[in-house]
Chain A
């Protein structure tokens, strides 16, 4: 009887084991050792929570969820989950014959709660979506410790996504930097060179500190590796920052370009400076605002696309104002450029004050459409915002359009002809007066488009255009009169140079330096970068 009984028992145990195997690791009971910590004080509970997070699996998830809801408790040696009236064993999930009232529930304090959130992150690191995994990895790497290393290793083995892998590798290296084994520290110091995070650099810099005669890091090989890694990080951060500066320079340049293209055309054709050009920008921006208001009231579902709808509105609104200016005032001042300067300044005063009285003196609010908000993060702290990227693209679009108009259409040919030689163009039958009006309309319309672009990144108010007239004229001067290519190079060059100077000397000094540079430049090349070739008697 005894042996038979023993055999039976053995079979039963094997059967159970097989069942457990079939069900897979998720079904397997938790190792009771993992749960033992819950009997102790807060510190041992925190350790138990961490261990559960590292172990992973559905059972661990279940236990942690119960703890979070305040349903985990202990009775004697057992750890139990209270579920209404039924009580289950936390390790196996089986019902336990204990009354719910007898269970001594575990209280959750802030420390436990922190540990819980870390454990949750650990769990989602293994099983979440990509975004969740990335967030979990970043969360964990901030408070990484030795206990998390096995988890990182497991996650790395399963992880395919490069971004998550990068975060995990760095987090592991970070932990390893504090390891006792110099080989491990060396490996970590090398791995950290991949980072572009200034915080990682600080971490490495700590190793190189010298306290009296002793280094923070005793091993020379590790120190050398750390130095190399710091240099690599510095290079990467510097590159990202340079890209960021070039980008903001491009973005400033494209705004300048939009403001200056129109001015270049009108100045080229008529030889007058339109001091009210900035106000045409303002008209374009207000037209955009008007379109936004209309969309808010009548097409709220399409609000995201109001900017696109505003393109023709801004163009024609500004072009209309431009034609009115040309017909009513400038036409009568041909041949008197200095007086035109004063008259257009008067026009700008009138336009600003009119807008102040009609719309109000405060700035109006224009919202970025959702597809233009956010940005691309190059490295820690260097973000390329979408609205600026879109504006650069828009400037290119406008430029191509203008170029096509100037080079491929009859009107463009007339405009070029009048720019080069007005009397001769008139002699061969170009209707110079009509070309003037149309060129002015196009120039004003482009200014309106510039206003539309500006409205997405700057304040829109009645006096917004005032700051642009000097800058855009500088672009025209620098680029050479009537030269589209010149305007493009000058605008981008000015934009990038002023952004670099700004980083070096501050915004005001940068502005002053740029102005001084232009004044000096004109000494050397009074006709701009791209001068029209030819000989003219009058100077």
Chain B
């Protein structure tokens, strides 16, 4: 007899996880809104508008990190193009925000300012329906989803993986960035969208709207975590992990990896799109630089810092790196790239399992229990991380890989 879905959903997370989620929900839905809206600015516990926006932004990043972890940590597919899906969601919702400006733009015209500037007379066809909130939300999920589906279908069908896949996703986001930089593409060129005024008729800069957006971001993150947890503990998640660890064997058993990978890949892109849609009204701007390859690769580092293959690691990583970044880019703007660069190197060299892995190791060491909890992703040596496509030479680095792991342990 099958257990009902709700029961399976609840059982997928240990009790500790649910408690942590409840505490998080309490803070995000009650604590911070109260501290921001109800407490006077002079109060020591007052949370400033800047902080709420920053935290909201980081919550969106955390959603992206979870989406990235689902595909990288659990399916072994490193995407260097997730910034594209994030930005597409942002642009889709940004179109709606641009239309909500109405005649309040600097030209006082029906069309968005940049179109007036380009001397366009009417909206391009793909802007159709952009004044509808529901359509904007749909587009924010559907556009990244569709692109991911088509791209993923062709890529996974010809079994492109490893660094090949990573670089092609990078080329994809790079090409999209070039496309969006053009004025003729119809998304504001260099400047993108900015100067938003309202959502559903309510002013976008009001404290209430800010708090609402923050609370929605928190809700999205929690939903992602619950859904992600359910997926990775389900039968589907186990097959996916098996594909990650030994794709050929899974195929020999009779599974088609295409469906599993494609589902997770498309879902991940859609989650990124939703995060982007929530991100844009909170930061007030979206432009093509969000699609730059550097942004996408940074997402991978959030996950790597937190710990691949653990959902909480992705959340932690995104939080740690972005808090550090918003502090360091103000205090030491010159040295932030150094720091970020060394973070990339140090994490890959010394913290292959990220912060979560470190914590587990420390705990395991204290308990003096030799059977450490293996993080989910540790692959058997010389398996799917093989960068070469089918038939090409496959350099086997089994020995050095284990040696490196031994050194890191």
Q: Using a CB–CB distance below 8 Å, which chain A residues touch chain B?
A: 269-273, 329, 331-343, 345-350, 352-354, 357, 418-423, 470, 473-474, 477, 480-482, 508, 511-512, 515-516, 518-520, 522-524, 526-527, 531-532, 534-539
Contact = CB atoms under 8 A, between A and B. Distances in A.
Interface in B166-181: 166-168, 170-172, 174-175, 178-179, 181
Contact of B391 (A423, A522, A534): A534
B56 interface: no
A346 B342 contact: yes
Contacts of A353: 334-335, 337-338, 341
B392 A342 contact: no
A526 B404 contact: no
Contacts of A532: 391-393
Identify the 6 closest CB pairs spanning chains A and B, nearest first: A346-B344, A335-B401, A335-B397, A349-B341, A350-B341, A334-B400
A418 B395 contact: yes
A342 B301 contact: yes
A346 B168 contact: no
Given A273-B167, A482-B393, 8 more contacts: A334-B397, A334-B400, A350-B342, A352-B337, A420-B393, A522-B389, A526-B164, A539-B391
Nearest to B401: A335
Contact of B340 (A270, A338, A349): A349
B292 to A, nearest CB: 9
Contacts of B190: none
A521 to B, nearest CB: 10
B195 interface: no
A348 B341 CA distance: 7
Contacts of A338: 72, 78, 162-163, 166, 385
Contacts of B401: 334-336
Interface stretch (B20-28, B152-160, B220-228): B152-160
A347 B341 contact: yes
Nearest to B303: A342
B390 A481 contact: no
Contacts of B300: 342
Contacts of A473: 167
B407 A332 contact: yes
Give the interface SS of chain B, mostly helix, strand, loop or mixed.
helix
Contact of A538 (B154, B158, B248): B248
B175 A511 contact: yes
B177 to A, nearest CB: 10
Most buried by B among A339, A347, A518, A532: A339
B301 A272 contact: no
28 contacts: A270-B395, A271-B387, A273-B387, A334-B400, A335-B382, A335-B385, A336-B385, A338-B162, A338-B166, A341-B80, A341-B163, A341-B166, A342-B297, A342-B300, A342-B301, A345-B297, A347-B344, A348-B341, A349-B338, A350-B338, A353-B338, A481-B392, A515-B175, A522-B389, A531-B392, A536-B390, A536-B392, A539-B391
A418 B386 CA distance: 15
B160 A421 contact: no
Contact of A527 (B166, B334, B389): B389
Interface residues of B, number: 66
A520 B171 CA distance: 13
Interface string B140-165: 00000000000100110111101110
A321 B268 CA distance: 38
Nearest to A353: B337
A343 B344 contact: yes
Given A329-B349, A538-B386, A422 B341 contact: no
B239 to A, nearest CB: 17
Contacts of B344: 342-343, 345-347, 349
B110 interface: no
B181 A539 contact: no
A298 to B, nearest CB: 33
Nearest to A523: B158
Interface string B43-74: 00000000000000000000000000000100
B304 interface: yes
A536 B391 contact: yes
Most buried by A among B348, B401, B404: B348
Nearest to B162: A337
Contacts of B404: 332-336
B398 interface: yes
B297 A539 contact: no
Given A271-B388, A343-B345, A508 B162 contact: no
A357 B337 CA distance: 11
Contact of A422 (B78, B391, B396): B396
Contact of A523 (B154, B174, B301): B154
A45 B400 CA distance: 93
Contacts of A346: 301, 340-345, 348
Most buried by A among B174, B293, B347, B389: B389
Interface string B175-203: 10011011000000000000000000000
B115 to A, nearest CB: 19
B167 A470 contact: yes
Interface in B328-379: 334-335, 337-338, 340-345, 347-349, 352
